[in-house]
């Protein structure tokens, strides 16, 4: 049976949230104006407080405290998120993602060169 219309579990919620965050970073201004930087800082801070998986939220708050978000522009924000996502990957025993700009861009914005996502 398909779980398509079931309430989100930790995995589904996580996948959707990472999709939102990495995609938002991929379309974030290359160089963000101060007001946009404030909005992004607020978004990440609110997310860390409101995320509806309590152990996930608590860990994320800690990590954000240790590594304040780089909200300066697209590349910095994308890399910052990639590093935070890798910290969760490591905790869960998942493979680490290559945070090089090309890999991030392929995965979250332009798709691979072979065109299979076009």
What are the residues binding ligand FAD (CB under 6 A)? 10-11, 14-15, 17-18, 22, 51, 55-56, 59-60, 82, 85-86, 88-89, 92, 94, 97, 107
CB of 100 to ligand FAD, least distance (A): 11
Candidates 85, 36, 38, 43; CA nearest to 60 is 85
CB of 4 to ligand FAD, least distance (A): 15
Nearer to ligand FAD, 73 or 97 (CB): 97
Concatenated DSSP letters for 41-68? HHHHHHHHHH-SSHHHHHHHHHHHHHS-
**What is the rounded CA–CA span in Å between residue 17 and residue 15?**
6
């Amino acid at each position: 049976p398909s779980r398509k219309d079931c309430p989100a579990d930790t995995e589904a919620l996580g996948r959707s949230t990472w999709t939102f965050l990495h995609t938002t970073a991929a379309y974030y201004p290359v160089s963000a104006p101060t007001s946009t930087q404030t909005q992004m800082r607020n978004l990440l801070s609110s997310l860390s407080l409101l995320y509806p998986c309590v152990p996930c939220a608590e860990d994320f708050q800690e990590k954000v405290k240790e590594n304040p978000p780089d909200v300066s522009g697209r590349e910095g924000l994308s890399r910052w998120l990639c590093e935070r996502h890798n910290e969760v990957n490591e905790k869960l025993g998942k493979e680490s993602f290559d945070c090089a700009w090309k890999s991030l861009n392929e995965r979250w914005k332009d798709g691979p060169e072979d065109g299979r996502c076009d």
